[in-house]
Structure 1
């Protein structure tokens, strides 16, 4: 069974835009300072005319009240980077499965724009469908049930009503569960191809750009349709695993992957 086609928002790029960047799944966390540094440098220096963050910028987000002049922690440092970047170019943010509690307060504070998932970007005469991608992983039944629960206004109201310290403790426990699942070798569901085709046809778009799966690749969906998967970011100099940090750059000549993983911490 294919995923339900949601309302599809639309954004038309100004004619002045020549280059657009897409990133996702950075999972920024205080425990990975090298990834934060790479992202900070990128946001300060990208030559793009706009940056689209397609979900999971943060490993976890427990509410916009984690940021403030009286809270000089990691979240406030991230907000500062976003704000500085948004002063020089448009920054767009789409919810992921880790940071769905990012709200309008943070966007207003940083000067960024919150995007619906999915959204069509009209750029250089073509239509590009943007999504985080998790809503298309319909074979993960347990996650889809969890997603419906935590995206409900009532659940979010109840969670955000809890004290900040309690929310931090809950988020820490959930993160530990997630890390344990990764280490167990569990197989995660991929994007459902028929659902991706259905969304593209409904959007009258040829290419779906998404993250979430941490499997950067390009997939042929037949009849000229395709989906392009963004890279996750993970830079830990002390680990044996290869660093990962890619930007997908769109221009009149098409899509190009740019590897930033060799940026020095």
Structure 2
């Protein structure tokens, strides 16, 4: 059966070997049956540059490359944790890097794909931070720093983010309904798939004067989460590692 798979928010890091093992099994198993695999951001917990010699990064790149070489193309949209992932890693892994919003047509459905953080417009502090760190000159400056300094800066930023989020309401960190409708109507589509919020669900809504659906991927904490799109259905599927 023809199908395309979507995942997001694995937050891979050396401190969570069970998630890494689960992802490697997914790449060697379920993913092989797909027409394509889309990773919608936050594949890694943090990314400070393609020159980081972390062994986990090479292990994951080679596993994805093996999937691609088997005939399953893999596409990647940057998340808020790994927005600096670049062309060097893409070449090593065989992944195709996509823009932050991408329309795909699958089995008769046009679907808007994105990580999801741009929809959280009520979190003004985060959106201001995002705008700042996505400036090309600042990214260039950061990536020019020695690796040990980048590691310190990234650790400080993660600690600050954790402290900031602990004082925010869940509603502020979720998507803004108007931002969702605006994105669907701007692209003239009825389907959206994203991650980021870690709140897996398929939400029926209305956009463009017609029924629409916002499909949210779950994070890989204690189990995997994927969305399977076929000609017949769009399914949100949790599964054990």
Indicate if the aligned counterparts of 1:61 and 1:101 stay in contact, CA closer than 8 A. Answer: yes
Indicate if the aligned counterparts of 1:197 and 1:225 stay in contact, CA closer than 8 A. Answer: no
Q: Which of 248, 261, 265 does residue 227 from structure 2 map onto? A: 248
Q: SS state of the match for residue 256, structure 1?
A: strand
TM-score by length of 2: 0.91
Residue 81 of structure 1: CA displacement? 1.8
Residue 182 of structure 1: CA displacement? 5.5
**Unpaired runs of at least 5, structure 1:** 1-16, 235-242
Give, in whole Å, the separation in 2 of the partners of 1:127 and 1:109.
Answer: 30
CA deviations 1:23-76 (Å, max 9, x no partner) are 00010011000001001110111211110000100100011111xxxx362222
Q: SS state of the match for residue 74, structure 1?
A: helix
2:158 maps to 175
Give, in whole Å, the separation in 1 of the partners of 2:214 and 2:194.
Answer: 8
TM-score by length of 1: 0.83
Give, in whole Å, the separation in 2 of the partners of 1:33 and 1:182.
Answer: 25
Q: How many residues align?
A: 234
Give, in whole Å, the separation in 2 of the partners of 1:166 and 1:138.
Answer: 31
Residue 202 of structure 1: CA displacement? 2.0
Q: SS state of the match for residue 65, structure 1?
A: coil
Q: Which of 47, 58, 75 does residue 76 from structure 1 map onto? A: 58
Q: SS state of the match for residue 98, structure 1?
A: coil
Indicate if the aligned counterparts of 2:65 and 2:93 stay in contact, CA closer than 8 A. Answer: yes
1:124 aligns with 2:107: yes
Give, in whole Å, the separation in 1 of the partners of 2:120 and 2:14.
Answer: 28
CA deviations 1:136-180 (Å, max 9, x no partner) are 111000000000011110110110000111111211222233344
Indicate if the aligned counterparts of 2:109 and 2:191 stay in contact, CA closer than 8 A. Answer: no
* Deviates most, 43-52 or 71-80: 71-80
- Counterpart mapping for 1:109-258 below 5 A: 109-181=92-164, 187=170, 188-222=172-206, 223-234=210-221, 243-258=222-237
Residue 181 of structure 1: CA displacement? 4.7
Give, in whole Å, the separation in 2 of the partners of 1:231 and 1:250.
Answer: 16
1:56 maps to 42
1:93 aligns with 2:80: no
Residue 185 of structure 1: CA displacement? 7.2
Residue 227 of structure 1: CA displacement? 0.7
Q: SS state of the match for residue 139, structure 1?
A: coil
**Unpaired runs of at least 5, structure 2:** none
RMSD across aligned positions (CA): 1.7
* Deviates most, 92-101 or 187-196: 187-196
Residue 184 of structure 1: CA displacement? 5.8
2:91 maps to 108
